[in-house]
Amino acid sequence: MAASLLKDPYIFDFLTIEEPFHERELETELIRHVEKFLLELGSGFAFVGRQYHLDVGEQDYYIDLLFYHLKLRCFVVIDLKRSPFKPEYAGKLSFYCSVVDDYLRHEQDQKTIGLILCQNKNKIMAEYALSGIKTPLGVSDYTLTKALPQELKSSLPSIEEIEKALGTEDE
């Protein structure tokens, strides 16, 4: 069920951030464009919070993005990573999902689903990292569109050509 909910890759071409960037910048931009982000995630997602605070064992933890899926009746924890996937990310996300299940989940809710969104995933490494974990977790790539695809560049007018057509050239 969790696998049918998650996509791979996610396309964040509505973001305008450029390399290099920090995970917090990615998170801020996704929230700034929350409607487009929700559309990219798919139907049924409701936004709960960003940097969602959890107090566990007298320590503070913060979930990057927390959603609730209306059809599946479960929380969805998203951990954003700017770097390629690392096996230790799975343990951290499993921890977050367990805490959400204990602190937020209602009796009628399903188990929390976790999603690691990283710039680059090694499918084999991700499969090994997730194989022993009972929490429903997924790892997906995301991509940012930095510029127009090469095949479109030649078919679009240049800035100078647009200015000339509009009569707004520097005089």
Whether domain 2-166 has CATH 3.40.718.10: no
Where are the strands (E) in 23-171, listed by range? 45-56, 59-69, 74-84, 113-120, 137-143
Question: What local confidence, expressed as pLDDT, does residue 148 receive?
Answer: 47
Question: What local confidence, expressed as pLDDT, does residue 157 receive?
Answer: 56
Question: What local confidence, expressed as pLDDT, does residue 102 receive?
Answer: 95
Task: Indicate the pairing of strand 113-120 with strand 74-84.
Answer: parallel
Question: Above 80 in pLDDT, residue 171?
Answer: no
Domain ranges for the chain: 2-166
* Average per-residue pLDDT for the chain: 80
The DSSP output letter for 112 is P
3-51, pLDDT tens digit by residue? 555 566 666 766 667 777 778 888 777 777 677 777 777 888 888 998 9
65-113, pLDDT tens digit by residue? 999 999 889 999 999 888 889 999 999 999 999 999 999 999 999 999 9
The DSSP output letter for 44 is T
Question: What local confidence, expressed as pLDDT, does residue 129 receive?
Answer: 86
102-148, pLDDT tens digit by residue? 999 999 999 999 999 888 787 888 888 888 888 888 888 777 665 54
| CA distances (Å), origin 143, targets 18, 82, 88, 95, 139 | 11, 11, 22, 26, 14
Q: Is 47 exposed, middle or buried (0-12, 13-18, 19+ CB in 10 A)?
A: middle
CA of residue 4 relative to chain centroid, distance = 16
Question: Above 70 in pLDDT, residue 58?
Answer: yes
CB 91 within 8 A of CB 98: no
